[in-house]
Amino acid sequence: MQNRLLFAALVAATPILALSPVAFPENDDNRCVRATAGARKVQRQFMSLMRRRDVESDRRLQAHAVPHVRSGEVRQVSDPDLCAKAAIAYGRVLRDRNSRKVHILHIGGRFVVVDPEFVPDSKLRLMTFDSTFSQPLALVAE
């Protein structure tokens, strides 16, 4: 009986362990955040804005300085070089030298960068950059 319980516990825990940080640890050199619920929420919000054709969605896209593209073109970025550039640019705009991990969305040639950990006043900061990551094209606090 005990062997069956142990076997059942191992079978039940296998999916949890397979997807855990123990199995896939984050690399300190890579400054991209692994896909989290908050990061996916931001991506879904942009995908929803791309599907809509109203004044409010156009205003929000303009505030974020991103073009209107197909919703399938809103993609997460996980390239380590882009993540490093984006993290440095994000910190430079905030005048913060702390090492950070960011989440990046590529939308029509623009990069929307957010640090899900940085919430000093209960607002999430989203910054839009072009491919040079020199100056932000937009800074939005949601």
Query: Is the pTM here over 0.75, yes or no?
Result: no
User: What sections of 22-107 are H helices per DSSP?
Assistant: 37-51, 55-64, 80-94
Two structure tokens written together for 124: 């999430």
Q: Give the torsion sign (CA, 23, 91, 136, 116).
A: positive
Element (H, E) at 99: none
Cα separation values, 15 from 10, 12, 18, 45, 107, Å: 10, 7, 5, 28, 32
In the 8-state DSSP scheme, what is residue 119? -
Model confidence pLDDT, tens digit, residues 64-94: 999 999 989 999 998 899 999 999 999 899 8
Model confidence pLDDT, tens digit, residues 86-123: 999 998 998 887 778 889 999 999 999 988 777 777 77
Q: Residue 49: what pLDDT?
A: 92
Distance CA 82, CA 94 (A): 18
User: pLDDT confidence of 8, banded at 50, 70, 90?
Assistant: low
